[in-house]
Structure 1
Amino acid sequence: LCINTAAVYLSACVPDIPDPSVEVYQQVGNSKSLIVVCQFKMKTSVSSFHLSVRNGDGKRMLNNPACIAETTCVFNITTTSPVSFTCVHVVSARTDIQTQLSDVFIYQPYSKILHSVQLI
């Protein structure tokens, strides 16, 4: 039960959020064009979804993803390698902020663990 009064800490109001997961798909014939899919498993009214991208140019946070379902978000990325991706789920309720991270996915062209897709 979450009671919204000054006497109750908001941490009691934020549920335990599971870690998101990350998958990376490479366009056939174009190692710079990637689709990153984040599965967030849970959404609250105070959730925000992001993708952390780190490469030789530094680190950046992508916001406002295209979500194809309430908890599945897709990012279209054009980048040089190597690059790493981390899905980020932030739940903020006033002063209580909880951040959940996926595992880090490191992309290098011609990696055998990537999914290859042909974009039409």
Structure 2
Amino acid sequence: MEIAYWIVAGLLALLYLYGGALKVLRSPDRLRPMMAWVDRVPPPVLRTLGTLELLGAAGLLLPPLTGTAPWLAPAAATGLLLLQLGAIPVHLTGGDRRIGLNLALLAAAAAALWLSVG
């Protein structure tokens, strides 16, 4: 199960590190072609979402790597799961019906949560 956790958590962390960094560093104008919903949230909310994604990615990897505060890995997986539960309605209500990635991230976060406590 430990190998499965590292595979799921590693891939999930890579995706969230990428997406979180984009949201923190890029302007809404540069994000718009990739993320149609950016116009519906204020820039501070966009930056906060990016920061939460970066923290979630770190929370999936660093506690198990260091052996410190092991409860943070399931907490990070739970936070990322909740993030996607909020993202799906945002996509659906904004006319952007492409939620395949959100569903995949939701499933991966659920798997990381299950693997981190099992």
- Provide TM-score, normalisation by structure 2: 0.26
Higher helix share: 2
Higher strand share: 1
CA radius of gyration, larger in: 1
